[in-house]
A and B are shown apart, each in its own frame.
Chain A
């Protein structure tokens, strides 16, 4: 029987044949070459939260694990476009934060099934390629609270937050739980400033708490420690290490490490596994996703052993820091 292919079949066949080496090359690339990552930051990359991700990405790039390019300060109206551009340009992983653009970001992921997306999100994962992560440095905040409890003279602890979203609430509540474990009679104050980047206002909110008797402040927002410094009291930092910036003020920092999350998703991509899952667990202390960094000379010596014991219990999985997403009063 003679083979008489139609013109269309011939064209399709030729195209497949031509594309085969390209497909093979892509497959091989997954195994050896660094994964092409594009970051779309909604804020400038030196904002505390973004800076943790940005520096972890840079470190991963320096290790040859990924290649990393990024955009910063991308507004919500521009956000899906930036995601698409990177996906079109051949990024294997588009990293971003979809809090303000959930629907659009998920639509983009559906349009590019071959590209992995990893988004900071309040929602769950979607499909095979839309992975999400949450910010978890609450365990370190709990440990910081245990240290802080021994340092307060007034027994009143303040905290300044941006907005009462789950990730902020659980952080402040974990700090409080840590304080309460050591000092059950502790009194807590909290102020939300209704802005992510208004350090002048965060500072005023913190000063108001100092007026109300607080002598340890948990600074979810930058600006808090400035008030503590002015008033000569102590503060706890969150996400990044604030001690170099406020050497005699910030005695402990609940540091968030993003590298374990990067390692996890890069491994999934290399193995060809689906990346549409929740990567939050890699922010837990068990994976090295968060840690407490503190200045030993500023903390009473008798506060440290109990904290270290608890830290070991958390790492061993014997103790779970409670996750309380209710709005702190």
Chain B
């Protein structure tokens, strides 16, 4: 029991929390932006897979890692645009289109990967992001190795969460996005075009999702596997719901999930006699419990999944 608590005081646990949370933060923010504008984007799992592959591929072809991330974001944006065209101006079912995007993006990813990479014994590697050593700060006891020895994309994810929260809550652009999700007629009445706002939000959100996938191949690992996203996209969709569509709580939810995950991996070696499945299940179970408590008053955007048709009353 003491040992189980001692783990909580180790810096490596908390460092792992930030690492595990990074793709979830990107993915959840992306899904959140889409949904706040009124569009559910179930293409996330496929878009994350695509982002993982494109970023890896760009780096493999010799691009700088930041260029690789930009390429992943651009690829994600393209698939986001496809989803947006289908669901916003054409007003098709967002569920069907989203799942279609996931299937298409996953298969397309695999296809492109196979065209470029010749079959070998193991997938080829790239040189990934190294943990940044920030002079002075990285040497701080405890806080140093946890917060100031992460890879650059992790800082980018945290910054993106702050930026996203600020834009949505405090800027005219954020107001327009939220309004498109709550009452697109009001957007129209303001002389803005709800269709272009929604399209823009889905494109930007999808780019963020792709960055979440890109983290897996450019920082967490150095090769691409077609199945490596492993359901992280679906977790992000759930995080958005449990976060009550608020960026701050989505960040908190991602960190909480990552904490349970990092903790269970360590707890497995301390607590004996329990089946490992119980530990693997814990992050999902506990996150649901915790977030229900936090997000009881969460309310979905009023016009979520309702296509907007001009002139319709």
Contact = CB atoms under 8 A, between A and B. Distances in A.
A binds B: yes
Interface of A: 43-48, 51, 54-55, 73, 164, 189, 191-201, 203-205, 207-209, 211-212, 222-223, 226, 240-242, 245, 329
A44 B19 contact: no
Contacts of A209: 269
Nearest to B222: A226
Contacts of A212: 266, 269-270
Interface stretch (B154-162, B193-201, B226-234): B226-234
B265 interface: yes
Interface in B75-104: none
B20 interface: yes
Contact of B122 (A200, A203, A211, A245): A245
Interface stretch (B137-145, B272-280, B304-312): B272-280
A241 B121 contact: yes
Contact of A204 (B122, B230, B265, B269): B265
B230 A201 contact: yes
Given A199-B223, A207-B12, A46 B120 contact: yes
Most buried by A among B16, B121, B222, B228: B121
Contact of A240 (B12, B122, B228): B122
A205 B261 CA distance: 10
A209 B266 CA distance: 7
A-B pairs with lowest CB-CB distance, top 8: A200-B220, A208-B265, A197-B227, A212-B269, A199-B221, A198-B230, A197-B225, A194-B280
B62 interface: no
A245 B121 CA distance: 11
Main secondary structure of the interface of B (DSSP, over half): loop
A254 to B, nearest CB: 15
Interface of B: 7, 10, 12-13, 16, 19-20, 110, 114, 117, 119-123, 125, 216, 220-223, 225-228, 230, 261-262, 265-266, 268-270, 272, 276-277, 280
Given A194-B277, A204-B19, A329-B272, A51 B221 contact: no
B154 to A, nearest CB: 13
Nearest to A211: B12
Contacts of A55: 121
A189 B121 CA distance: 28
Contact of B216 (A189, A196, A200): A200
B120 A204 contact: no
Contacts of A73: 110, 226
Contacts of B276: 164, 191-192, 194
B289 to A, nearest CB: 20
A70 B211 CA distance: 33
Nearest to B267: A208
Nearest to A195: B230
A222 B220 CA distance: 13
Contacts of A207: 12, 16
Given A200-B216, A211-B12, 5 more contacts: A46-B122, A193-B280, A194-B276, A196-B227, A212-B270
A243 to B, nearest CB: 11
A50 to B, nearest CB: 10
Contacts of A196: 227
Nearest to A208: B265
Contacts of B266: 208, 211-212
Nearest to A45: B119
Contacts of B19: 204
A203 B225 CA distance: 14
A198 B110 contact: no
B27 to A, nearest CB: 14
Nearest to A156: B269
A320 to B, nearest CB: 28
Contacts of A240: 121-122
Contacts of B280: 192-194
A245 B222 CA distance: 11
6 contacts: A193-B280, A198-B227, A199-B221, A207-B12, A209-B269, A222-B122
Contacts of A43: 227
A245 B122 CA distance: 9
A203 B262 CA distance: 11
Contacts of B122: 46, 48, 51, 222, 240, 242, 245
